[in-house]
Amino acid sequence: MAEDTKTITSNHAFDPLDMNNYRIEKLPKMEKSGFEKLMSKLGIPLAVIAFVLIYWFSGISFLDNLSETSVSGKALARLNEIGLTDFIRSNYAMLAIFVAALILWITEALPNYLTSLFVVLGIVLCGVTSQKEAFAQLGHPVMWLNILSFILASMLVKTKFAKRLALGFVLKFGKNAKSTLWSFLAINLILSMFISATTVKAAIMLPIMMTVCAIYGAYGGNRNNFGRNLVIQELFQVNLGASAFLTGSGAHLLAISLIFGATTSEFGYTDWLKTCAPLSLLILVLGLTLSMYVFFPMKKEEQKPQIEGGMERLRAELAAMGKMTTEEWKAVIIFGGVLLMWCTDSLHGVDATTVALIGAVIALMPGIGVVKWNDVDIPWHLMIFSCGAYALGAGLNTTNLPGTLVNALFDSLGIGDGTPFWVLYVIVTFCMMYSGLIFQSKTIRTMIFVPIAMGIAQRFGYPVISLALPVAMLTEHCYALPFNSKPALLLYSTNQYSITDAFKYGITLMTISWFLILVWGQTVLKWLGITPGLF
C-alpha cells in the first residue's frame, strides 16, 4: 500500500468526490483479532468463576471487619436497615457483581446492554439495594438528559442543518490545506455543543471529511499526511470537543451524578464550562499544531488539491441543499434557546434536564416543532447500558465499597493520613488518563475511577470534588488505539492512517494532557476553589 500520494490514477468505477461512497455502511467491517475472539469466548466463564469465588468462597478480612463505625451516610442507613451480617454479604455481592460486569464489558462476551441488565438483576437478587432504587435508575435525571439530548440532536441532523453547517465552514474557511484543518476543529467544537454522542459526530462528518481527503489526494488506498492529519484530528476533536461541555458526553453526566449525589452541592452547565472548556480548547489547539508541524508535516504537493474542481463539488453539494428551510430555522432557534438557558442556569435556576425537556417538547409539538417521534434516533441499547452503569453506581454508593477498598489498599501499603494532596492528585489523574489505553467504554472508566477518587478524598479528609472532578475531566482521552472507543474504530476503518500513526500521536497528547491537568490543579482549579492546590 502506498504511504504517500504522488499521482492519482483515474478510476471510472469509483468517484472519489461522491459523498455517498463514504457512508458508514460502505466502510469495510473490522474483524476481531484472534485474541479478541478468544477473550469473547472466555468472558462468560471467567465472569461466572469470578462471581462465584468472590461471593461464596472468598474470605476478605476488610469486608468481614465492617462495622457501624467504618461506614457513613447512605451505607450506614442501609446497614441499620438490613443488619450488619446482611450488609457484609451485600458488600461481597457488590464486589462480585462489579468484577463480573467488568470482565463481561471488557471482553465483550455479551452485548453491553445485556451485561447491564444482568447487573441490575444481580443487585436486586443479592439485596445490594432495594428493588425500587435499582429499577429507578432508568428514570434518573441524567438518563432523561441523555435521552432528551438525542432528541435535540436528531432535530438538527434530520433537518440537515448539521451537514449545512459543516459544508459551510469548510467552504468559507478552507482556503488551503492548513485552514481546512482548522475549520474542522471549529466545526467539531460547535457540534459538541449540541451532540453528546461522539460516534454520531464522527458519522455526520465522515462523508465530508473523506471527500476533502480525496480532494487532497488521500483516497483509494493512498495515504498522505493531509489525510493523516484530517482523520486523526477528527478522532481527537470529537473526543476533546466533547470534553468542553457537560452535555458533551453521557460519561460527564454520570461523573457529576456520582460526585454530587454524595454531597449537597450542585455543579451545573456553566460550572463545567468555565472549569473544563478552556483546558479542552488549549489541548485541541496544541493537538492540531503538533499534528501539522511535528507528527505529520505536509509536503508542498500535499497542501495542494489533487483533483480539479474538488471544492466546486462541495459547493454544488451545499447549493443543492438550497436556502435555509423553515424547519432548519426552527431547529436552530429551539436549540439556540436551549443552549442559552444551559449557559445561564445560575440566573434562572432551571436545571439542565428540565431545560432539555422544554426544548424536546417544543421540537416534538405538532405544527410548531421539527421532528416526529419516529424521526428521533435514540440508541436504546446505550440507554440500557447506561442504566446498568448507574445501578452499579447506586450499589457502590449504598455499600460504600470504593471507600472500603481504598482504605484497605492504603493500609496495606502503609500510606498514612499525612500523605500530601499532590501525591494523591498525581496518582488518580495518572491512572485515569492511561486507563484510556485499556478500556473501550468511557462510562466504565468513569464508573471505576471516579468512585475510587471519591474514596481517596474521603479517606484523607479532602473535598470529594478535589480529586473526583479532575478525574472526570480526563474521560475523553481515548483515541490512541482503534479499540479505545467507537469513533476510534470507525475512523480507523477509513484506512487513512496506521495504528502506529495513531498511537505515537495519541500517547504523546495523552502525556501532554496529563501534565496540563497537573498545572490546572495548581492554577485554575485552585482559583475556583475546587482543589487546595498541589503545592
* CA 463 – CA 527 distance, rounded (Å): 15
Q: Comparing 535 with 296, which gets the higher pLDDT?
A: 296
**Confidence band, pLDDT 50/70/90 cuts, at residue 28:** low
Q: Comparing 234 with 487, which gets the higher pLDDT?
A: 234
Q: Comparing 258 with 528, which gets the higher pLDDT?
A: 528
**Confidence band, pLDDT 50/70/90 cuts, at residue 41:** confident
pLDDT in tens, 454-491: 888 888 888 888 999 999 999 889 888 777 777 887 78
For residue 159, which of 48, 322, 300, 385 has the smallest C-alpha distance? Answer: 322
Joined together, the cell numbers standing for residue 365 give 409539538
Q: What is the pLDDT of residue 3?
A: 44
pLDDT in tens, 132-149: 888 887 777 777 877 887
* CA 384 – CA 117 distance, rounded (Å): 7
> What's the pTM value of the predicted model, to 2 decimals?
0.77
pLDDT in tens, 77-110: 888 888 888 888 999 999 999 899 888 887 878 8
Range 35-42 average pLDDT: 81
Q: Is the pLDDT assigned to residue 8 strictly greater than 60?
A: no
Instruction: Find cell 474521603 and name the residue.
Output: 458
Using DSSP's 3-state secondary structure scheme, residue 121 falls into helix
* CA 531 – CA 189 distance, rounded (Å): 27
pLDDT in tens, 347-397: 777 777 888 889 889 988 887 878 888 877 777 777 787 788 778 777 877
For residue 189, which of 284, 253, 258, 62 has the smallest C-alpha distance? Answer: 284
Q: Is the pLDDT assigned to residue 425 strictly greater than 60?
A: yes
Q: Is 399 exposed, middle or buried (0-12, 13-18, 19+ CB in 10 A)?
A: buried
Would you say the C-alpha torsion 332, 357, 143, 279 has a positive or negative sign?
A: positive
For residue 118, which of 106, 128, 104 has the smallest C-alpha distance? Answer: 104
Q: What is the pLDDT of residue 7?
A: 40
Range 165-194 average pLDDT: 81
What's the whole-number average pLDDT of the chain? 81
* CA 400 – CA 458 distance, rounded (Å): 11
* CA 370 – CA 155 distance, rounded (Å): 6
* CA 459 – CA 407 distance, rounded (Å): 7
* CA 480 – CA 478 distance, rounded (Å): 6
Using DSSP's 3-state secondary structure scheme, residue 493 falls into coil
Q: What is the pLDDT of residue 514?
A: 95
Long-range pairs for 165-168 at CB < 8 Å and ≥24 separation? 165/190, 165/191, 166/191, 166/204, 166/205, 166/208, 167/208, 167/314, 167/317, 167/318, 167/321, 168/318
For the CA atoms of 298, 300, 302, 308, what is the dihedral angle to 10 degrees?
160
Instruction: Find cell 460516534 and name the residue.
Output: 199
Q: What is the pLDDT of residue 262?
A: 52
SS (H, E, C) 360-424: HHHHHCCCCCCCCHHHCCCCHHHHHHHHHHHHHHHHHHHHCHHHHHHHHHHHHHCCCCCCCHHHH
* CA 390 – CA 229 distance, rounded (Å): 37
pLDDT in tens, 235-278: 899 889 889 888 787 788 778 877 776 554 577 778 888 899 99
DSSP letter for 291, please. Answer: I
Q: What is the pLDDT of residue 5?
A: 42
Q: In this prediction, what percent of the chain has a pLDDT beyond 90?
A: 17
